[in-house]
Amino acid sequence: EKNGYEHYMLKEIHEQPDALRRVLANRVSTQGVNLDEIGLTAEELKKYSQIQVVACGTAYYSGMVGKYIIEELARIPVKVDVASEFRYSNPIIDKDTLVIVVSQSGETADTLAGLRLAREKGAEVLALTNVVGSTIAREADRVLYLKAGPEIAVASTKAYLTMVSVFYLLAVQFAKIKGTINDDEYMGLVSDLIRLPELASETIKVSEEKAKEKARYFIDYDNSFYIGRNFDYTIALEGALKLKEISYLHAEAYPAGELKHGPLALIEEGIPVVAVVTRRSLYDKMLSNIKEVKARGANITAVAIAGDAEVEKAVDDVIFIPECNEFFSGLLAVIPLQLLAYYTAVGRGFDVDQPRNLAKSVTVE
C-alpha cells in the first residue's frame, strides 16, 4: 500500500497535490468560494465578533496560519490556543464567538475536551477534521472535512496542507462577506487558490533533490533553528516540529526578530539555521536577520521565492518554491521542510512512520 514509496510519510508528502485538489473541489471555482455546506448565512457569519481556534501539534500550527490570514484579510480577531491549555482555562467566549477545532483524527482527547468546554460556554463549534464520523465531527455544530485521505505516518503532512487550505477558504469567504476586500481582490485570491494543487506539485518537483542533499548536513547537528516572520514563522514552527518528531534532533523555531533577545547567544560556527522568506512585506527585515546569524557562523538554508537572488547570495543554500500569491506561499514553503525532516530521519536510520514515544492519535490526556 506504500505504492512503491519506502515510507508512508514520503507517499503522503507526494499525495499532497491530490489532497489539495479534493479539499478545494466544489468549495472554490471561478465563481468564487462556496462553503454552503456548513449552512451559515452571510448574516450569521457577520455576527461573529471573534474566532477561537483550539487544536494540538500540527493542527495547532495550521490554526496559527489561519490567524494571520483571517486577521489580515477579514479583520476578525483570532485567538489560537493549544487544546491542553485551553481546556483548563476559563476562556472569554460566548455565542458570538466561532470556535474552530482542528483535528486530523477527530479523536484527540484534549481537542475534544476543548470542544465540549466551548459548547458549554454557548459558543458555536466548527470542526475541521479528516475522519468522517469521528467523535469531534459528531459533537461539533458544523463540520468541514479535510478530505486528505487516510494519513498513516505519525508525522502529519497532507492533513496539515488541507487544514491550512480550509483556513484560506474561510478567510477569503469571511473577507468577502465582511467587505474587507473588494471584488477584484476577491477574484484574485480565488484564482490563486485554484492553482494551489498545481503549485504544490511543482514545489515537490523543484525542492525534493535539494532537501535530500541538505539533509546530509543536518544529520550531524544536535541543534538547529528555524526562523521566519509573520506566517513564515508559523511555517518554521511546523518545520521544526517535523524534524524533532522523526529525526530526534532538537530544532527550535523562533520569530526572526526575537533572536537578539536571547537565542542569538546560541548561534555558533556551523549550526544549521532554516530561514523561511516568503513575506514580501517583511523581506528586508528578514534579510537583515539572516545576515545577523550568518555573521555568527551559522549555516543557513533559506526557503525562498524562485528567482530571489539576494537571499541566494546571503545564505549557504536556498530551496526555491514557485512564485505565487503572497498569502499562499507559506503553504508551499512547508513542503521542502517536510522533505528535509524526512530525509534527515532516513539518513539517521530511524523508523520514520512510527517515531518512538508517539502515537498517531492521542486519545488519552
Residue 103 binding ligand M6R, by CB under 6 A: yes
- For the chain, strand residue ranges (E) read 28-29, 32-33, 50-55, 78-82, 97-103, 124-129, 142-145, 223-228, 250-255, 272-277, 299-305, 317-321
Cα angle vertex 210, ends 195, 151, to 5°? 55
Which residue in 45, 70, 155, 164 binds ligand M6R (CB under 6 A)?
A: 155
* Choice between 140 and 304, CB closer to ligand M6R: 140
Residue 62 binding ligand M6R, by CB under 6 A: no
Could you tell me whether strands 124-129 and 97-103 are parallel, antiparallel, or unpaired per DSSP bridges? parallel
* Choice between 163 and 271, CB closer to ligand M6R: 163
Cα Rg of the chain (Å, integer):
20
By CB under 6 A, the count of residues binding ligand M6R is 16
Q: At residue 364, what are phi and psi to the nearest 5 degrees?
A: -120, 160
Residue 349 burial (CB count, 10 A): 8
Cα angle vertex 215, ends 209, 219, to 5°? 160
Residue 19 binding ligand M6R, by CB under 6 A: no
Q: How far is the CB of 352 from ligand M6R (least distance, A)?
A: 12
> What single-letter DSSP state applies at residue 297?
T
Residues 340-359 that bind ligand M6R (CB under 6 A): none
* Choice between 156 and 203, CB closer to ligand M6R: 156
CB 224 within 8 A of CB 243: yes
Residue 9 binding ligand M6R, by CB under 6 A: no
* Choice between 155 and 335, CB closer to ligand M6R: 155
**Burial class of 26 by CB neighbour count within 10 A (0 to 12, 13 to 18, 19+):** exposed
**Burial class of 171 by CB neighbour count within 10 A (0 to 12, 13 to 18, 19+):** buried
Residue 329 binding ligand M6R, by CB under 6 A: no
Instruction: Please state at what angle helix 158-178 crosses helix 329-347, rounded to 10 degrees.
Output: 170
Q: Which region among 52-60, 307-315, 329-337, 343-351 touches ligand M6R (by CB under 6 A)?
A: 52-60
Residues 106-145 that bind ligand M6R (CB under 6 A): 108, 111
**Residues pairing with 215 in the sheet:** none
For this structure, is 360 an active site residue?
A: yes
The one catalytic residue in 121, 212, 294, 360 is 360
Q: List the x/- string, 277-316, binding to ligand M6R by CB under 6 A.
A: ----------------------------------------
Residue 97 binding ligand M6R, by CB under 6 A: no
Residue nearest to ligand M6R (CB): 57
Q: How far is CA 273 from the centre of its chain?
A: 19
Residue 337 binding ligand M6R, by CB under 6 A: no
Residues 213-242 that bind ligand M6R (CB under 6 A): 241
DSSP tally for the chain: helices H, then strands E = 13, 12
Q: How far is the CB of 129 from ligand M6R (least distance, A)?
A: 8
Residue 247 binding ligand M6R, by CB under 6 A: no
Cell of 328: 499562499
Which residue in 52, 58, 230, 234 binds ligand M6R (CB under 6 A)?
A: 58
* Choice between 114 and 228, CB closer to ligand M6R: 114
Residue 324 binding ligand M6R, by CB under 6 A: no
Which residue in 52, 156, 203, 247 binds ligand M6R (CB under 6 A)?
A: 156
* Choice between 281 and 357, CB closer to ligand M6R: 357
Look up residue 97 and give its amino acid.
Answer: T
| CA 163/CA 231 separation, integer angstroms | 15
Q: At residue 320, what are phi and psi to the nearest 5 degrees?
A: -90, 145
* Choice between 109 and 206, CB closer to ligand M6R: 109
Q: Supply the residues annotated as catalytic.
A: 360
- Site residues (vs ligand M6R, CB under 6 A): 56-59, 103-105, 108, 111, 154-156, 241, 245, 361-362
